[in-house]
Structure 1
Amino acid sequence: MKNRKIVPHPYLKERLLAEGMEALKGKRYKEAYTYFVQLEQLQWHDDDVQMALVVCLFEMGQIEEAKERCEQLLERGSGDWAVYISMLVHLQQYDEVVAVIHNIQRKGIDCTPFLPLLQFSEKMIRSQYEQQAKQYEIIFESEQWSKQLRILHQLHSPIVLRIVPIFARYLCDETKHPIVKTTMLHILKKEQVTEPITVKKFAQTMTVVPAELDEQKQNDWIEQVLDIVEQKWAKQNPTMYEWGKQIWLRYMFVMYPFLPTESVQQWANALYTYIEQCETGQTISTSPLVSKLYKQKNYGSLLKVYDCMV
Structure 2
Amino acid sequence: MTENKADVVMFPKWKSSLEQKGRTALQAKKYKEALEHFEQLISFEAANSEVMTGKLICLMELGRYEEAETICRELMKEDEGNYFQYLHIYLTVLFQTSQYQELLDLLDEVFESEEIPQEVRKQFWQLYDITKKLKEDESSAEYIEDIDEFIASLDSKDAKKQWRCLSKLKKQDIHPYINELVPFLKKDYIQPVIKTAMLQWMQEQKVERNVEVTKLGETKVVNPSKLDDILSHPSSRQILNLLDPVEQDNPTLYEFIQQLLFRYMYVRFPVMPTDEETPSLAKAFFELGTSYLQLDHYPFPLENYGSQKEVDLWKQQIEYYEANYFSVLDES
- TM-score norm. by structure 1 comes to 0.68
Q: Work out whether 1:155 is the aligned partner of 2:156.
A: no
| 27 and 194 in structure 1: CA distance in 2 versus 1, 3 angstrom threshold | same
> Which one of 201, 214, 225 corresponds to residue 228 of structure 2?
214
CA contact (8 A) 1:196 1:209 kept: yes
Equivalent position of 1:25 in the other structure: 27
Paired letter, 2:194? V
Q: For the residues of structure 1 that align with 2:87 and 2:19, how far apart are their CA atoms?
A: 20
Q: Which amino acid aligns with 1:207?
A: V
1:135 aligns with 2:135: no
Unmatched 5+ residue regions in structure 2?
Answer: 78-82, 113-120, 297-307
- Shift of the alpha carbon at 1:139? 0.7
CA distance in 2, matches of 1:35, 1:195: 66
Deviation at 1:148, TM superposition (A): 1.1
Query: How far, CA to CA, are the matches of 2:260 and 2:11 in structure 1?
Result: 78
SS at match of 1:77: helix
Q: Which residue of 2 aligns with 1:170?
A: 184
Give the direction of change, closer, same or farther, for the CA distance of 1:10–1:164 in structure 2 (3 Å limit).
Answer: farther
CA contact (8 A) 1:274 1:290 kept: no
Contact 1:88 1:96 in 2 (8 A): no
After TM superposition, give the deviation of residue 138 of structure 1 in Å.
0.9
Q: Work out the CA distance in 2 between the residues paired with 1:156 and 1:33.
A: 47
Q: For 1:273 and 1:305, how far apart are their aligned partners in 2? A: 23
For residue 141 of structure 1, give the secondary structure of its aligned residue in structure 2.
helix
Conserved 8 A contact 1:19-1:35:
yes
Picking from 240, 245, 262, the partner of 1:249 is 262
Q: How far does the alpha carbon of each residue in 1:195-241 deviate from its partner, in whole angstroms, 9 at most, with x for none?
A: 4352333214132234x5432763775465345447469969x77x6
Is 1:201–2:224 an aligned residue pair? no
1:88 alignment partner AA: F
| Correspondence 1:265 to 2:276 | no
**Is the CA contact (8 Å cut-off) linking 1:67 and 1:84 kept in structure 2?**
no
In the aligned structure 1, how far is the partner of 2:27 from the partner of 2:151?
A: 51
Q: Please report how far the alpha carbon of residue 251 of structure 1 lies from its aligned counterpart in structure 2 after TM superposition.
A: 0.7
Judging changes above 3 Å, is the alpha-carbon distance between structure 1 residues 266 and 298 closer, same or farther for their aligned structure 2 residues?
closer
Q: Percent identity?
A: 21
- CA shift, 1:56, in A, is 1.4
- Aligned-pair Cα RMSD in Å: 4.9
- Which residue number corresponds to residue 88 of structure 1? 95
> In 2, Cα distance between the equivalents of 1:7 and 1:96?
45
SS of equivalent to 2:309? coil
Aligned-partner Cα distance in 2 for 1:307–1:137? 18
The answer as to 2:325 corresponding to 1:303 is yes
Range moving further from structure 2, 110-119 or 291-300: 110-119
**Matched residue, 1:77:** 84
Q: Which runs of 5+ in 1 are unaligned?
A: none
AA partner of residue 309 (structure 2):
T
1:181 aligns with 2:195: yes
Distance in 2 separating the partners of 1:120 and 1:159? 19
1:6 aligns with 2:11: no
Whether 1:286 and 2:309 are equivalent positions in the alignment is yes
Query: Relative to structure 1, is the Cα distance of residues 277 and 105 closer, same or farther in structure 2, using a 3 angstrom cutoff?
Result: closer
Alpha carbons of 1:28 and 1:206: their partners in 2 closer, same or farther (altered >3 Å)? same
8 Å contact 2:236–2:261 — kept in the other structure?
yes
